[in-house]
Amino acid sequence: MQYDNPQALLDHAQSFAGSTLGELCERYKEQVPQQLLHKKGWVGQFIEMILGATSGSLAQPDFPDIGVELKTLPIDEQGRPLESTYVSVVPLIDIQGLCWENSVVRHKLMHVLWVPIVASREIPIEKRQIAMPFLWQPSVEQEQTLKQDFEDILDHVSMGGIEQVDARLGEILQVRPKAANSKALTDAIGPDGSTIKTLPRGFYLRPQFTKHCLQQYFTETQV
């Protein structure tokens, strides 16, 4: 499905507010998984499906025509994020000339449709409720911090220091493993420009940051 503008997508997404995953699954003839251990990406893929996202596993926003990235966000009953938010893989080789302005992470984060879902672990999956979806764009200050984080991380990577990068680096963006398991290795720049094998990494948004985005929205709208 294509949308003329972000507002049309937002309207569609907000029409699901208050529904449970069980209700939506019944409507769309899907089966609700009993647990997510072996279906970790199911919620995100299901919401993509009912909203008509088309990008699949391409490294670009979910709705390229309108430049909007879709992210489900698990929250507790108090509206606090339960997890970090994956954004994209961290490029580890061929990064000469790669800058914030033309990065995948920036293109995805320029405009995000957040779909919060009350998803505390004790709530059965079919009873988890869609909260109010909202559109978000980084402020000038937020983009500056994101850019700083991105450049700090890529500086380490380009200098052969990926092994020195851990989840503590970055104010908003952090770097964590992103792999099938610890045996899935990929090429990276090593000391003195050598090539080494290392765990694939991903950029993630810290929960404290997405918490701030939620608070900002719910303060503005007083919902």
> Which of residues 21, 25, 104, 157 is near DNA by CB under 7 A?
104
Please report whether residue 149 would count as binding DNA according to CB under 7 A: no
> Which of residues 4, 31, 35, 102 is near DNA by CB under 7 A?
35
How far from 45 is each of 40, 42, 56, 62, CA to CA, in Å? Answer: 10, 5, 9, 11
| Helices marked H in the chain | 6-14, 21-27, 42-51, 104-109, 140-158, 207-221
Residues in 192-211 at the binding interface with DNA, rule: CB under 7 A:
199-200, 202, 206-208
Phi-psi category of 74—alpha, beta or left, where left has phi over 0 and alpha has psi -120 to 50?
Answer: beta
Please report whether residue 166 would count as binding DNA according to CB under 7 A: yes
Please report whether residue 184 would count as binding DNA according to CB under 7 A: yes
> Is 69 in contact with 9 (CB distance < 8 Å)?
no
Nearer CB in complex with DNA: 92/220: 92
Residues in 68-97 at the binding interface with DNA, rule: CB under 7 A:
69-72, 74, 80, 82-86, 88-89, 91
Beta carbon of residue 22, minimum distance to DNA (angstroms, whole number): 16
Nearer CB in complex with DNA: 35/222: 35
Beta carbon of residue 166, minimum distance to DNA (angstroms, whole number): 4
CA dist 210 and 170 (Å) reads 14
> What contacts 187, CB < 8 A, 6 or more positions away?
92, 93, 195, 196, 197, 198
Beta carbon of residue 179, minimum distance to DNA (angstroms, whole number): 4
Burial class for 180, CB neighbours closer than 10 Å (0-12, 13-18, 19+): exposed
Residues that bind DNA (CB under 7 A): 35-41, 43-45, 47-48, 55-60, 62, 69-72, 74, 80, 82-86, 88-89, 91, 104, 108, 119, 121, 166-168, 174, 176-187, 199-200, 202, 206-208
